[in-house]
């Protein structure tokens, strides 16, 4: 059953609309990320879910009960949720163990059981040895784990995380991504995870809601977001891509420098408009010295305009005759082409995505 | 385009069924209600009772006859007699002269300590701090002992040395009053000027020096003008302090047979109290004060000067050469007048069998102190009362200020209401204590809120009077706390109060204790509001000291004064321990 439902949520500050018509449904045990650029309304949405802020329109339901609506909202302390803040908000006047045990104390869990659960969770996040330290004596990553332990130990109905990794250095951040996913797999807490880091969202989430200017652009599993972006914003925001414009003419779509058959674009339903916008991932283009015999694939000839070697891959810019923009192509390290060398490109049409 | 949007149609219909379970109506309203709202509401009501009601009452009473009908007779009575109008004039003269004399005392000292290589800075600094510690009216007592006609030490010395018939000094006069007030108000000028001078970088002075200007000329034409807004602001502050003061004028002007506004107000309260007339008579004092504070704020916030003095830059002391000794001499002279001489004669009196018999060993006794503290029920009770009232007032002021600061900073009310709340909390800063007391008298001497005659009226008046100090400190304290620390408590199931009790309060312990002390100290020595609101059973030390002054028992006056000074010193030391050396300055800035 749906655990958490956000229905047409909007939030207005004065004249400014921070969140507009936001819809999202979380299943029990699901981890959904809110991903978007700075200022797109992620924190605002999260704070409405937590009950720190009342939506100006729409409702939020938890287990079928309305907990937020424009008129009234259940105070945060009654929502059985927990949250990890961007600043971690570890209480500096309490030890690690006191911080972690606080939620249990407020919930009047028996002393003994509380101690057992605190110890258990501290082991899980590998902080057992530091239980009597004060937060000022912890590193950023350790504080992060305290925050995690503190919010998981109460077995919340919903766990909310607001950019929990943004204050950590790059290595630690990568490590903690997996840690968060591991904890989620272990405890299966319904989770909303806010981040502006695409890789972080990809690693941790079951589904990702991409936000832009207060609206949801697309909600999907990470694979589909990358492979089948539905809007130009999503295609551009998740990974790198080439946008190419084409014209539909009978059964063929003509782009600058190459053309693709209508079926190859593989659109269900209504069919194509006259002007077509397509996203081509750099990985779905292959570079060849000779034209391949496989006529199924779409081919065109161009030349290497620019190249950079990034160790793990080559980044080529291929100029096509008649095209204003070069196509960016990612190639394996051993696929070496010289500048201005003539190359054939082959596009895997299965990976083309029509943007509307 | 959006998967959620596509599927949203179906659940929406389902929810229409689900919603009544959540239940509009009372149950849900009650569950959704944030119960802490009542406390914030209460705080707002208290604030209105403490600040708005007395001022409103003051205004109403000034237009009322005793039976409650509208009249202008109070104003006619207040301004018809030339005596009364003269008192207004005297206050203005007093304010301007005392403030000017404060500049003469304060500015050179500030410059010497801030910009020069004068020796003995530590000693001067300590004595200025000491001047802060002496309640102004105690300084007046000291100067009565020093320069009272005939019996005063300085007069006796002059007679001894010159063989004149009588000494030249008479402290019971306008010049005497101006002088005494300046002795205890110049520290404000000192603090304001010094902090402004501390911000002027040596580079600006160097620039002038390179152009061929000498040190003295540079100081007069560059350094001081840069500090001018601060000096002006201090001038205004001291002027206001001088015209609002009650203790020193009552001790010096009444025997000198002249009146100022505050003493005149007090006389309107002699039996039977003419509250309406007093209220009408207090209006100019209130209006001048409010206007000048407004002016002072504008001076301080003037942009041009702020940006000039805002940058630190390097600061080097100006070498004084042979001029350092005369300058030190002047500084010590001022400190002698304001601190050492009065303190010496007060200590002598407090420890003497009879102060007139002089500084001999056989005149020494601890009886005065012992008697005051333990044997005399009147003074013993007054000491206890002083502690209790000041403690209670400090507690209330800090609690209320903390509530308001919390409400405003966490935006529990709309921004507009928040602004009104902080305005109200800061408002008592511009109300002279004596005017506030008349307002309290007018508001709380009759049912339904009959507080007159109880300790409550004193405690609440103190609370109100020093609320701004508490607020300035609480506000800074609350701002230093990341709201997410509280949010973290709430999302884990704690209420706002749990958050305040378990997180905010422990983190703010020190600054709140500091705020407590900053209210407690002035509350122990407050006279101008207490004098209107005390009754036989609720005497405090300051009132007692004033009451005893016409009995001529200076040994006891001095003993009471010493006790007050002692209390102050102890708490200032605690404050230093808690908050570091600049903590007294925060009070001046509050
Ligand atoms: N209390 C407020 N009053 C007015 N505007 C606000 C308030 N809170 C947020 N906003 C505005 O709403 C917009 C969205 O803010 P929000 O904090 O939700 O962004 P975000 O997506 O979390 O960004 P970031 O990634 O930088 O944290 C911003 O433009 C912000 O200025
Ligand atoms: Mg944010």
Per-residue pLDDT of chain A in tens (356 residues, 90 and over written 9): 789 999 999 999 989 999 999 999 999 999 999 999 999 999 999 999 999 999 999 999 999 899 999 988 899 999 999 999 988 899 999 999 999 999 999 999 999 999 999 999 998 888 889 989 999 889 888 998 899 899 999 999 999 999 888 877 888 888 888 888 998 998 899 999 999 888 899 989 999 999 999 999 999 999 888 888 888 899 888 888 888 888 888 778 888 877 787 777 766 655 777 788 888 888 888 888 877 766 556 678 888 988 998 888 899 998 888 778 888 999 898 888 888 888 888 888 778 888 87
The CATH number given to whatever domain includes residue B393 is 1.10.3720.10
The protein residue with its alpha carbon nearest to ligand 1, atom 9, reads A44
Residues 6+ apart with CB under 8 A from B310: B199
pLDDT of residue B327: 93
pLDDT in tens, B445-483: 877 788 888 899 999 999 999 999 999 889 888 988 999
pLDDT of residue B106: 93
ipTM of the shown complex: 0.83
Ligand having the closest approach to the CA of B411: 1
Q: Distance between CA atoms of B323 and B77, rounded to whole angstroms? A: 57
B553 in a structural domain: yes
Q: Nearest by CB to A154, from B32, B492, B507: name it.
A: B492
pLDDT of residue B411: 84
pLDDT of residue B412: 84
pLDDT of residue B21: 39
Distance of CA B66 to the CA centre of its chain: 33
pLDDT of residue B314: 61
pLDDT in tens, B261-303: 999 999 998 878 888 899 999 998 899 988 988 888 887 765 4
Residues 6+ apart with CB under 8 A from B44: B407, B421
Specify the higher pLDDT residue, B590 or B466.
B466
Query: Band of the pLDDT at B4, cuts 50, 70, 90?
Result: very low
Assess contact for B130 and B145: CB atoms under 8 A: no
B47 in a structural domain: no
Query: Band of the pLDDT at B405, cuts 50, 70, 90?
Result: very high
DSSP of A260-318? EEHHHH---TT---SEEEEEE-GGGEEEESS--S-TTSEEEEEEEEEEEE-SS-EEEEE
Q: Nearest by CB to A64, from B4, B18, B34: name it.
A: B18
Going by DSSP bridges, is the β-strand pair A285-288/A342-347 parallel, antiparallel, or unpaired? antiparallel
The torsion defined by the Cα of A168, A169, A175 and A177, in degrees rounded to 10, comes to 50
Q: Is B230's pLDDT higher than 70? A: yes
pLDDT of residue A22: 93
- Expressed as residue numbers, the domain containing B415 is 366-590
For domain A241-354, the question of CATH label 2.40.50.140 is answered with yes
pTM equals: 0.80
Residues of B in contact with A92 (CB under 8 A): 507
B469 in a structural domain: yes
B371 in a structural domain: yes
Residues of A in contact with B487 (CB under 8 A): 50, 52, 76, 83, 85, 89
Q: Nearest by CB to B498, from A50, A65, A106: name it.
A: A106
pLDDT in tens, A35-87: 999 999 999 999 999 999 999 999 999 998 999 999 888 999 999 999 999 88
Q: Is B565's pLDDT higher than 70? A: yes
Task: Take residue B380 and report the two structure tokens written for it.
Answer: 């013993």
Sketch the domain layout of chain A as residue ranges. Answer: 4-236, 241-354
CATH superfamily, region A4-236:
P-loop containing nucleotide triphosphate hydrolases (3.40.50.300)
The protein residue with its alpha carbon nearest to ligand 1, atom 10, reads A18
Ligand 1 centroid vs A225 CA: distance in angstroms?
Answer: 25
pLDDT in tens, B364-381: 888 888 888 888 888 889
Q: Is B10's pLDDT higher than 60? A: no
pLDDT of residue B273: 84
B522 in a structural domain: yes
Q: Is B24's pLDDT higher than 80? A: no
DSSP of B129-160? HHHHHS-HHHHHHHHHHHHSTTTSHHHHHHHH
pLDDT in tens, B106-141: 999 999 998 888 999 999 998 998 888 889 999 999
Q: Would you call A154 an interface residue with chain B, using a CB distance cutoff of 8 Å?
A: yes
Q: Is B390's pLDDT higher than 50? A: yes
- For residues B12-41, average pLDDT: 60
pLDDT of residue A279: 87
Specify the higher pLDDT residue, B584 or B228.
B228
Ligand 1 binding pocket, CB closer than 6 Å? A 13, 16, 18, 38-44, 196
* Angle CA B253–B256–B259, to nearest 5: 45
CB atoms B488 and A91 under 8 Å: yes
pLDDT of residue B12: 36
Determine the 3-state secondary structure of B552 from DSSP: coil
């Amino acid at each position: 059953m749906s655990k958490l439902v956000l229905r047409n949520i909007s939030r207005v500050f004065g004249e400014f609309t921070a969140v507009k018509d936001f819809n999202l449904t979380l299943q029990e045990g699901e981890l959904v990320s809110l991903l978007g650029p700075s200022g797109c309304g992620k924190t605002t949405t999260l704070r409405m879910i937590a009950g720190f802020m009342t939506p100006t329109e729409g409702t939020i339901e938890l287990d079928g009960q309305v907990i937020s609506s424009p008129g009234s909202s259940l105070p945060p302390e009654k929502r059985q949720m927990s949250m990890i803040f961007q600043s971690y908000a570890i209480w500096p006047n309490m030890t690690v163990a006191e911080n972690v045990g606080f939620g249990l104390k407020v919930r009047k869990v028996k002393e003994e059981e509380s101690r057992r659960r605190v110890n258990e969770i501290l082991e899980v996040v590998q902080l057992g040895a530091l239980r009597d330290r004060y937060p000022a004596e912890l590193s950023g990553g350790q504080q992060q784990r305290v925050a995690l332990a503190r919010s998981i130990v109460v077995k919340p109905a919903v766990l909310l995380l607001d950019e929990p990794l943004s204050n950590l250095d790059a290595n630690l951040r990568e490590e903690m991504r997996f840690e968060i996913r591991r904890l989620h797999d272990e405890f299966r807490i319904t989770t909303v995870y806010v981040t502006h880091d695409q890789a972080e969202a990809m690693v941790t989430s079951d589904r990702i809601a991409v936000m832009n200017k207060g609206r949801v652009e697309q909600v999907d599993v990470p694979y589909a977001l990358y492979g089948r972006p539905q809007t130009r914003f999503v295609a551009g925001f998740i990974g790198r891509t080439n946008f190419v414009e084409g014209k539909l003419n009978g059964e063929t779509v003509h782009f600058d420098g190459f053309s693709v058959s209508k079926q190859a674009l593989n659109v269900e339903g209504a069919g194509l408009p006259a002007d077509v916008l397509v996203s081509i991932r750099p990985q779905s283009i292959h570079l060849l010295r000779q034209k391949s015999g496989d006529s199924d694939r779409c081919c065109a000839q161009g030349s290497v305009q620019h190249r950079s070697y990034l160790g793990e891959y080559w980044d080529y810019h291929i100029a096509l005759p008649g095209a204003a923009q070069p196509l960016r192509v990612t190639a394996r390290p051993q696929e070496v082409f010289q500048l201005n060398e003539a190359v054939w490109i082959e596009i895997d049409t299965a990976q083309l995505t029509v943007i509307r | 385009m959006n998967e959620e949007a596509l599927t949203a149609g179906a659940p929406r219909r389902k929810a229409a069924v689900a919603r009544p379970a959540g239940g509009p109506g009372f149950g849900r309203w009650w569950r959704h209600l944030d119960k802490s709202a009542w406390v914030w509401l209460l705080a707002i009501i208290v604030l209105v009772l403490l600040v708005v009601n007395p001022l409103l009452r003051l205004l109403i009473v000034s237009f009322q006859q005793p039976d409650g009908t509208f009249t202008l007779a109070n104003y006619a009575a207040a301004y018809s007699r030339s005596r009364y109008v003269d008192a207004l004039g005297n206050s203005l003269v007093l304010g301007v002269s005392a403030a000017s004399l404060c500049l003469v005392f304060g500015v050179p000292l500030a410059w010497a300590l801030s910009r020069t290589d004068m020796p003995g800075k530590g000693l001067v600094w300590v004595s200025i701090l000491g001047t802060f510690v002496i309640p102004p009216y105690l300084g007046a007592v000291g100067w009565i002992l020093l320069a009272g006609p005939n019996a005063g030490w300085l007069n006796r010395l002059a007679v001894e040395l010159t063989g004149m018939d009588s000494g030249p000094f008479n402290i019971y006069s306008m010049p005497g009053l101006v002088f005494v007030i300046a002795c205890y108000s110049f520290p404000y000028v000192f603090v304001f000027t010094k902090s402004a001078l501390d911000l002027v970088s040596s580079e600006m002075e160097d620039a002038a020096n390179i152009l061929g200007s000498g040190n003295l000329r540079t100081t007069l034409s560059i350094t001081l003008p840069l500090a001018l807004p601060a000096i002006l602001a201090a001038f205004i502050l001291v002027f206001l302090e001088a015209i609002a003061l009650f203790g020193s004028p009552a001790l010096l002007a009444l025997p000198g047979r002249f009146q100022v506004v505050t003493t005149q107000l007090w006389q309107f309260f002699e039996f039977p109290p003419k509250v309406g007339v007093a209220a009408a008579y207090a209006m100019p004092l209130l209006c001048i004060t409010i206007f000048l504070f407004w002016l002072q704020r504008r001076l301080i916030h003037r942009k041009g000067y702020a940006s000039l003095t805002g940058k630190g830059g390097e600061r080097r002391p100006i070498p004084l050469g042979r001029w350092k000794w005369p300058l030190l001499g002047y500084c010590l002279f001022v400190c002698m007048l304001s601190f050492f001489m009065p303190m010496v004669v007060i200590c002598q009196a407090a420890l003497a069998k009879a102060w007139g018999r002089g500084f001999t060993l056989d005149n020494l006794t601890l009886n005065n102190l012992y008697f005051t503290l333990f044997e005399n029920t009147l003074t013993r009770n007054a000491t206890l009362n002083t502690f209790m009232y000041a403690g209670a007032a400090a507690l209330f002021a800090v609690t209320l200020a903390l509530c308001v600061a919390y409400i405003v900073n966490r935006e529990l009310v709309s921004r507009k209401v928040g602004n009104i709340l902080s305005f109200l909390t800061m408002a008592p800063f511009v109300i002279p204590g004596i005017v506030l007391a008349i307002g309290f008298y007018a508001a709380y001497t009759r049912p339904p809120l009959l507080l007159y005659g109880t300790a409550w009226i004193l405690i609440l008046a103190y609370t109100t009077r020093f609320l701004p100090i508490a607020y300035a400190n609480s506000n800074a304290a609350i701002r230093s706390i990341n709201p997410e620390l509280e949010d973290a408590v709430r999302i884990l199931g704690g209420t706002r109060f749990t958050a305040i009790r378990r997180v905010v309060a422990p983190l703010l312990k020190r600054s709140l204790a500091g705020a407590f002390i900053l209210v407690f100290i002035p509350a122990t020595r407050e006279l101008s509001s207490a004098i209107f609101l005390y009754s036989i059973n609720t005497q405090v030390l300051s009132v007692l000291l004033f009451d005893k002054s016409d009995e001529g028992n200076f040994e006891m006056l001095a003993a009471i004064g010493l006790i007050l000074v002692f209390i102050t010193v102890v708490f200032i030391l605690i404050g230093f321990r808690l908050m570091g050396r600049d903590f007294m300055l925060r009070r001046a800035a509050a």
